[in-house]
Structure 1
Amino acid sequence: MEKQNHIFDDLFIFEMANSHQGSVEHGIDIIHAMGKIARKHNIKAAVKLQYRNLDTFIHPDYKDRTDVNHIPRFMSTRLTYDQFTQLVDAVREEGMITMVTPFDEDSVGWCMDQGVDIIKVASCSALDWPFLTEVARTQKPIIISTGGKTLSDIDKLYNFFTHKGCEFAFLHCVAEYPAPMERLQLDFIDRMNRRYPEVTIGYSGHEDPDDNTVPMLAVAKGARILERHVGLPTETITLNSYSMNPEQADRWVQAAVNAKSMCTTKKENDKYVSQEEIDSLNSLMRGVYLNKNIKAGEEIHREDVFFAMPCHDKQMNSGEFIEGIIASKDYKVNEELHEKRKVTQISQVRSVIHDAKGMLYEAGIALGEDFEVELSHHFGMQHFRQIGAIIISIINREYCKKLLIVLPGQKHPIHAHKVKEETFQLLYGDLLVNIEGKERYMKPGDIQTVLRGEKHSFTSTKGAIFEEVSTTHVKSDSYYEDPRISKLDPIERKTILRRW
């Protein structure tokens, strides 16, 4: 499954502190203040309310008790359904996303009646299965806080909502108010992203509202949602120690936006290197200079050159020098070398291998030591990045297991097998398989069987690694539709590597 570009991504959640004191007017004032911040920073923002049907949520014998934690606050800030509707409408008028944390089945119904955009599951409700069942029935986007939940608990939630067909996100959360810095465990965001790669992971913070290193670190760790309690202090209202006033919320958003800018690569799936960076490093590189006279046509060896600053434009640098390069002109002692490094098949193979290894590292796939690598280059190594594949043979008995690596933009041409039946399972990346003219886009985990005699090809946009499990592999059992390929001896279109 692929992580979806969804309402969750890059979302800021402003949670109403202390149920906005049970005042619709004060709640609307907070919503207006958060709307200004959202527009100032041009962010995707949600304001989150909390719903409870207090007629049934609290046991009748406890409604008037003042000695039970939370109940007096809930009762004193009670709002009606119509009053909550006014707040939801105010959020919409500010152009923000409507979001509610319901705490019982009745309030889930209120969310549906009001057309709320996102339902939030609080940490205290995250293992309340009757309640979660009702939430899942809505098929609304769901965000689940994981405060106080073990990894096993989170796995249960993942499986529950996945089986229910819901779109959901997880928030790493430490359910202490305020949360001590030494217990924030922001590394757990990394682990959640690895464990649930198709789920958007975020962070719900309860730390000191003036410390904006935490949201920056959370973003750097991969959090795509950030949530904080916000409020509006007045002469009679004082915020608690973990809630932000508008000025603090503004600085919190700015810090997160800055962190995203610092952490985001400019080129998709690659590292951006600016011309300024290249020029800066080039000014420190060593150039190649001759320490003897060389005639055109002579080989140049390591003892014939020395490396020194500066390295001029179009001059060969020390990293480009290779033993035995042929001089294209006469050179005098101390003259800078201006030969171009020729692209050889060895350098092309080495470049491809390095890219393939990098993909395996990124996918977390270990090969061990007993395998054979085949570069299948149907039109030569010079065209390998366009046409071909890397085939890693791991087992070939009565059954066969291979790993195939398809580089970004690479295509493996139409062919069929008469002896072998094979099944593909995509482990990493994206893969478009064409079987007998029918295309199928595969996502990681997907399985596709290719029967004997079926013509098939495959390609990838961003690169792919897939496992092939088949009957015994027999040499010369690949029959290509393109006559230019079919007439080649297999040795002409394969490079075999025993070690890489």
Structure 2
Amino acid sequence: MSDFMYIDGQAIGPGYAPYVIAELSGNHNGEIERAFKIMEAAKKSGANAIKLQTYTSDTMTIDHDGPGFVVDLPLWKGRTLYDLYQEAHTPWDWHEALFSHAKKIGITIFSSPFDATAVDLLEKLGAPAYKVASFENIDIPLIKKISNTKKPLIISTGMASLEEIEDAVQAARDGGCEELCLLHCVSSYPASIEETNLANISRLREKFGVIVGLSDHSLGTVVPIAASAVGASVIEKHFTLSRDDGGVDSTFSLEPDEMRELVDRSREAAVAVGQVKFGPKPGELESLNYRRSLYVVEDVKAGEIFTPKNIRSIRPAHGLEPKYYEAILCKKASCDIKRGEPMTWNFVDRSEL
């Protein structure tokens, strides 16, 4: 597997700025013009891509209100799955227009397909990449179907055990996927910071040797910014024009000014990580002059003994390094020395060395 991948010509991976995906989801509220405005706001906010979800209520579930078909999650409690997906889905006959609008405004667009027919639709539209949602990361046939396109693939790992993630990764590789990214994810809505466990990001990278990132459902921008500082190369966040407008995902979605903050701060955090490098940095070179060093702090006569009273470790840094302090104590001065002189070996009687 590669250390980096490309989506629509954009390089993604360690050493590059985090790739920020604005998730449209159902925040269009059933209005294509609103979807267009969300895309435009995402572009203006600095997001790299807008992502859709390609399904219908019939490709997701069946119209049934029996046990298990009624949602028990807080945000959507009491609604049937079929009804919820009917409201939240992005109509398939919008897709061509959405792809066209993305091209017009200069933002990358791709989607999460939820069944084979959705993959076929997106292939016809020339989708540059695919995303497998957390709830589908156990759908091995779907992962293989997507991988057969040979397009870059992002898989969210929400709810998945390490064994289940291994199965998904193997399915992607078996299907021919060569550019793979795993997104650490907590599939609760909203997700709590306490359950975020960003330490999983480095574990996923070590275990699978792929690009890693975060699909975040927490409130605000703290978690994704922190993720950028621990190696997340991709950040996905639900996006809306205003939470006050409502919508199935609005509660845990970012508004435009928050998305701009996320984009800017996450990139700064990634830059701050930098590389392993010890020793003075270019910006520290002037500061070296103000480290501690050994100085003569009282007038000393030739032959006089150096003591804690007449030599000290002080700033600035023009004398001998403080590590020589004990080696100089009790030695004789080779000459007269004025107070304020930086200590050198020339001040020590050679017979004492």
Q: Bin the TM-score by the shorter chain.
A: 0.7 to 0.9
SS at match of 2:250: coil
The letter for the 2-side match of 1:16 is L
Aligned equivalents of 1:14, 1:203: Cα separation in 2: 12
**Aligned-residue offset at 1:312:** 5.0
- 214-223 vs 187-196, which deviates more? 187-196
Query: Where do residues 431-442 of structure 1 align in structure 2 (5 Å cutoff)?
Result: none
Change (3 A) 1:251 1:155: same
- Partner residue of 2:313 out of 308, 312, 315: 308
Aligned equivalents of 2:214, 2:83: Cα separation in 1: 29
The letter for the 1-side match of 2:99 is V
* Identity over aligned pairs, percent: 25
Match of 2:171 in 1: 160
Query: Where do residues 2-81 of structure 1 align in structure 2 (5 Å cutoff)?
Result: 3-4=3-4, 6=6, 7-9=11-13, 10-18=18-26, 20-38=28-46, 45-54=48-57, 56-59=59-62, 62=64, 69-76=80-87, 80-81=91-92
Are 1:318 and 2:322 matched, yes or no? Answer: yes
The letter for the 2-side match of 1:286 is S
Are 1:201 and 2:206 matched, yes or no? Answer: no
Are 1:181 and 2:193 matched, yes or no? Answer: yes
The letter for the 2-side match of 1:171 is L
- Partner residue of 2:119 out of 108, 133, 137: 108
Are 1:283 and 2:290 matched, yes or no? Answer: yes
Aligned equivalents of 1:46, 1:337: Cα separation in 2: 61
SS at match of 1:227: strand
The letter for the 2-side match of 1:107 is A
Match of 1:410 in 2: none
Aligned equivalents of 2:113, 2:99: Cα separation in 1: 14
The superposition leaves residues 362-396 of structure 1 with CA deviations (integer Å, 9 ceiling, x where unpaired) of xxxxxxxxxxxxxxxxxxxxxxxxxxxxxxxxxxx
Match of 1:260 in 2: 270
Say whether the 8 Å CA contact 1:215–1:255 is kept in structure 2: no
Aligned equivalents of 1:272, 1:51: Cα separation in 2: 51
**Aligned-residue offset at 1:273:** 3.6
The superposition leaves residues 62-85 of structure 1 with CA deviations (integer Å, 9 ceiling, x where unpaired) of 49x997633113224555544211
Match of 1:336 in 2: 342
Match of 2:222 in 1: 213
Say whether the 8 Å CA contact 1:14–1:34 is kept in structure 2: yes
**What's the C-alpha RMSD, in Å, of the aligned pairs?**
3.7
- Partner residue of 1:170 out of 156, 175, 182: 182
Say whether the 8 Å CA contact 2:49–2:109 is kept in structure 1: yes
The superposition leaves residues 90-124 of structure 1 with CA deviations (integer Å, 9 ceiling, x where unpaired) of 12222222220000001111121111112000001
**Aligned-residue offset at 1:230:** 0.8
Say whether the 8 Å CA contact 2:137–2:143 is kept in structure 1: yes
- Partner residue of 1:120 out of 131, 150, 160: 131
Aligned equivalents of 1:199, 1:221: Cα separation in 2: 15
Say whether the 8 Å CA contact 2:56–2:86 is kept in structure 1: no
The letter for the 1-side match of 2:293 is R
Match of 1:226 in 2: 235
The letter for the 2-side match of 1:49 is L
The letter for the 2-side match of 1:242 is F
Change (3 A) 1:62 1:199: same
Unaligned runs of 5+ in 2: 71-77, 329-333, 347-353
Are 1:246 and 2:256 matched, yes or no? Answer: yes
**Aligned-residue offset at 1:186:** 1.7
The letter for the 2-side match of 1:182 is E
**Aligned-residue offset at 1:237:** 4.3
**Aligned-residue offset at 1:158:** 2.7
SS at match of 1:179: coil
Aligned equivalents of 2:166, 2:102: Cα separation in 1: 33
Say whether the 8 Å CA contact 1:288–1:321 is kept in structure 2: no
TM-score, scaled to structure 1? 0.56
Aligned equivalents of 2:102, 2:254: Cα separation in 1: 18
Q: Which has the higher contact order (CA 8 A, sep 6+)?
A: 2
The superposition leaves residues 381-429 of structure 1 with CA deviations (integer Å, 9 ceiling, x where unpaired) of xxxxxxxxxxxxxxxxxxxxxxxxxxxxxxxxxxxxxxxxxxxxxxxxx
**Aligned-residue offset at 1:257:** 2.9
The superposition leaves residues 292-322 of structure 1 with CA deviations (integer Å, 9 ceiling, x where unpaired) of 748xxxxxx999x944324454x33224779
The letter for the 2-side match of 1:308 is S
The letter for the 2-side match of 1:230 is F
The letter for the 1-side match of 2:313 is A
The superposition leaves residues 420-472 of structure 1 with CA deviations (integer Å, 9 ceiling, x where unpaired) of xxxxxxxxxxxxxxxxxxxxxxxxxxxxxxxxxxxxxxxxxxxxxxxxxxxxx
Query: Where do residues 72-91 of structure 1 align in structure 2 (5 Å cutoff)?
Result: 72-76=83-87, 80-91=91-102
The superposition leaves residues 253-298 of structure 1 with CA deviations (integer Å, 9 ceiling, x where unpaired) of 233233234x233xx542574455344454240225596748xxxx
Change (3 A) 1:181 1:95: same
Are 1:135 and 2:146 matched, yes or no? Answer: yes
Aligned equivalents of 2:94, 2:244: Cα separation in 1: 24
- Partner residue of 2:155 out of 126, 144, 151: 144
Query: Where do residues 436-451 of structure 1 align in structure 2 (5 Å cutoff)?
Result: none
Aligned equivalents of 1:163, 1:307: Cα separation in 2: 68
**Aligned-residue offset at 1:207:** 1.3
- Which is richer in helix? 2
Unaligned runs of 5+ in 1: 295-300, 325-329, 341-500
TM-score, scaled to structure 2? 0.76
Aligned residues: 319
- Which is richer in strand? 1
Change (3 A) 1:143 1:235: closer
Change (3 A) 1:234 1:278: closer
Aligned equivalents of 2:3, 2:89: Cα separation in 1: 38
